[in-house]
């Protein structure tokens, strides 16, 4: 019996009972009494004869049925049951449809929450809920295309939120990579968006980095009227140059008076790594002067309204503005940039010691991250030289413009 032809398939008439017209290699056409025609492929797997549906004629032509049968035959040659593979493919497709971008993103967020600080988790979740989920949250993540994601990101960009746009592109990339690892997406499509969005603006916080101007700032801080707590915080910040939030939320229990150092726990550090700040004689003097006033609070710099809360995040910024230092000239965070620049360019301190004291991610020649006690004695000596230098800057009079 020869192979079927398209004409023979078309002209096949129904009979009182179902019958089959064979094409060869297991493929045949099943004609029902009601005239409907179904493609079937017969094969043997593990010694048992089975059949696999190849579709309904005329929606599936003879040529299409042969291609499907050939593909199934290839699967069989690989030792896989074509029927089982089809069931698994259908289930996978169902899972792909069920795995919307929002569902995958929230699963990713749950896992990241185990390593992130709560504030960071809340921030990223909020950005996704406002900027991404309303537009592609209900779309299967495997079906989202680069142009589709680009359109959503450009809506953020067009309202001037370039920084948020860049963060959302990065976050979406992490979510797509998570989906790839879970087998529910083929690839990270954000890689196709390179050059399609405005570059992120690198805005460095304003900081005074010239010695004369920095000395003038230190003298201005000493003259600050009002709260002794705020003035003490501003006086101490240049000496220790930790992040403002780490200073404001500092607790007396973290001060090791005997070792003359501030031991900040990992949960209060940006990098989640414990940090040690050697305290110079000048730093200790500031803390000792403040201790009688705030020792009843667990916070070194408690809020003016309640000793149960740390100082407000705007207290230091407001104080600097009262001294005439507007947002574009110097900020509380700017003391870190001032210290890094002057320690490097003026005092010629070892830059790895400076970076470590800034609590940056410093690694040794073997790529290992230094621990909190690395070079502690060398850093202690550097911090004392730094405080002595600040005292020198304060005592140096301004040069005349004449």
Average the pLDDT over each of 10-14, 58-62, 304-308, 365-369 and give the range with the smallest value.
365-369
Spatial CB neighbours of 390, under 8 Å, sequence gap ≥ 6: 218, 238, 239, 282
State yes or no: cis peptide before 114, omega within 30 of 0: no
Kindly state the DSSP code that residue 193 receives in the 8-state scheme.
Answer: G
Average pLDDT over residues 181-193: 90
| Most confident among 86-90, 116-120, 394-398 (mean pLDDT) | 116-120
Percent of all residues in the chain with a pLDDT value above 90, rounded to a whole number? 58
Q: Beta strands 48-57 and 255-256: pairing type?
A: unpaired
Question: Is the model more confident about 350 or about 386?
Answer: 386
Structure tokens at 149: 């994601």
Q: What is the pLDDT of residue 328?
A: 79
Highest mean pLDDT among 93-102, 206-215, 231-240: 231-240
Mean pLDDT, the chain, as a whole number?
A: 88
* Strand locations in 80-206 (E): none
Q: Where are the beta strands (DSSP E) in 235-314?
A: 255-256, 261-264, 275-278
CB proximity list for 277: less than 8 A, separation 6 or greater: 240, 242, 261, 262, 264, 357, 383
The pLDDT of residue 183 is 85
Contact between 394 and 219 under an 8 Å Cβ cutoff? The reply is: yes
User: Which strands sit side by side in the sheet containing 37-45, from one edge to the other?
Assistant: 19-24, 27-31, 37-45, 48-57
Q: H or E stretch including 161?
A: none
Question: Position of tokens 């990270």?
Answer: 188
Residues 6+ apart with CB under 8 A from 7: none
CA nearest to 165, candidates 176, 155, 175? 155
**What residues pair up with 30 in beta bridges, in sequence order?**
20, 38
Q: What whole-number distance in Å separates Cα of residue 163 and Cα of residue 168?
A: 9
Per cent of the chain over pLDDT 70 is 92
The residue assigned the tokens 């094969």 is 43
Pick from 89-93, 203-207, 323-327 the range whose average pLDDT is largest: 323-327
Architecture of domain 6-81: 2-Layer Sandwich (3.30)
> Chain-centre distance of CA 243, in angstroms?
20
Q: What confidence score (pLDDT) does residue 333 get?
A: 92
pLDDT at 389: 95
Average pLDDT over residues 202-209: 72
pLDDT by residue (tens digit) across 79-102?
Answer: 888 888 887 766 666 655 678 999
Q: Which of 339, 338, 366 is nearest to 353 (CA)?
A: 339
Residue 61 gets the label, from left (phi > 0), alpha (psi -120 to 50) or beta, of beta
pLDDT at 202: 54
Could you give the C-alpha distances from 19 to 33, 39, 65, 317, 365, in angstroms and in order? Answer: 9, 12, 18, 88, 78
Write down the pLDDT at residue 38. 93
Distance of CA 274 to the CA centre of its chain: 21
Comparison of pLDDT for 364 and 191, the residue scoring more: 191
Quick one: CATH architecture of 101-193? Orthogonal Bundle (1.10)
Q: What residues are annotated to the active site? A: 243, 270, 333, 336, 360, 370
pLDDT of residue 400 exceeding 60: no
Looking at the predicted structure, is the pLDDT value of residue 397 above 70? no
Q: CA–CA separation, 220 vs 338, rounded Å?
A: 16
- Nearest partner of 228 among 311, 298, 118, judged by Cα: 311
Burial grade of 383 (CB within 10 A; 0-12, 13-18, 19 or more): buried
Q: Which of the four CATH numbers 3.90.1410.10, 3.30.750.24, 3.20.20.70, 1.10.443.10 does domain 211-395 have? A: 1.10.443.10
pLDDT digits (tens, 9 = 90+) for 102-111: 999 999 999 9
Whether pLDDT at 235 is above 50: yes
Report yes or no: 193 and 151 within 8 Å, Cβ to Cβ: no
Q: Rg of the Cα trace of the chain?
A: 35
Q: What pLDDT is attached to residue 123?
A: 85
What distance in Å separates the CA atoms of residue 287 and residue 154, rounded to the nearest whole number?
A: 50
137: Cβ contacts below 8 Å, ≥ 6 apart: 100, 101, 102, 105
Tens-digit pLDDT profile for residues 333-371: 999 999 999 999 899 998 889 988 998 876 544 444 556
Degrees (nearest 5) of the Cα angle 307, 311, 313? 155
In the chain, where are the structural domains located? 6-81, 101-193, 211-395
Dig out the tokens for 326 from the structure. 């507007």
- Express each pLDDT in 5-37 by its tens digit: 999 999 999 999 999 999 988 999 999 999 999
Least confident residue range of 38-52, 110-124, 331-345 = 110-124
State pTM to two decimals. Answer: 0.54
């Amino acid at each position: 019996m020869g192979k079927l032809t398209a004409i023979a398939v078309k002209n096949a008439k129904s009979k009182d009972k179902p019958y089959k017209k064979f094409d060869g290699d297991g493929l045949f056409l099943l004609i029902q009494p009601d005239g409907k025609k179904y493609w079937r492929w017969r094969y043997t797997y593990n010694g048992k004869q089975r059949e696999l549906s190849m579709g309904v004629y005329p929606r599936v032509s003879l040529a299409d049925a042969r291609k499907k049968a050939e593909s199934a035959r290839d699967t069989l040659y690989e030792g896989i049951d074509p029927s089982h593979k089809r069931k698994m493919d259908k289930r996978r497709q169902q899972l792909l449809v069920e795995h919307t971008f929002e569902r995958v993103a929230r699963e990713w967020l749950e896992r990241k929450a185990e390593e992130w600080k709560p504030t960071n988790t809340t921030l990223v979740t909020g950005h996704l809920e406002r900027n991404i989920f309303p537009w592609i949250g209900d779309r299967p993540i495997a079906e989202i295309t680069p142009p589709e994601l680009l359109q959503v990101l450009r809506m953020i960009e067009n309202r001037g939120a370039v920084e948020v746009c860049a963060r959302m592109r990065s976050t979406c990339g992490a979510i797509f990579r998570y989906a790839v690892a879970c087998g529910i997406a083929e690839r990270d499509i954000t890689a196709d968006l390179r050059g399609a969005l405005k570059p992120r603006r690198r805005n460095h916080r304003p900081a005074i980095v010239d010695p004369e101007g920095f000395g003038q700032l230190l003298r201005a801080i000493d003259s600050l009227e009002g709260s002794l707590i705020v003035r003490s915080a501003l006086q101490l910040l240049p000496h220790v140059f930790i992040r403002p939030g780490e200073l404001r939320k500092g607790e007396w229990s973290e001060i090791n008076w005997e070792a003359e150092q501030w031991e900040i726990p990992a949960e209060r550090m940006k990098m989640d790594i414990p940090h040690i700040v050697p305290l110079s004689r000048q730093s200790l003097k500031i803390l000792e002067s403040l201790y009688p006033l705030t020792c009843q609070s667990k916070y070194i710099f408690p809020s003016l309204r309640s000793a149960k809360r740390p100082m407000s995040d705007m207290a230091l910024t407001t104080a600097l503005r009262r001294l005439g230092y507007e947002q574009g000239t110097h900020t509380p965070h700017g003391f870190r940039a001032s210290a890094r620049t002057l320690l490097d360019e003026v005092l010629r301190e070892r830059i790895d010691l400076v970076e470590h004291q800034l609590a940056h991610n410093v690694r040794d020649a073997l790529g290992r991250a230094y621990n909190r006690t690395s070079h502690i004695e060398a850093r202690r000596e550097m911090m004392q030289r730094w405080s002595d230098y600040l005292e020198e800057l304060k005592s140096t009079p301004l040069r005349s413009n004449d």
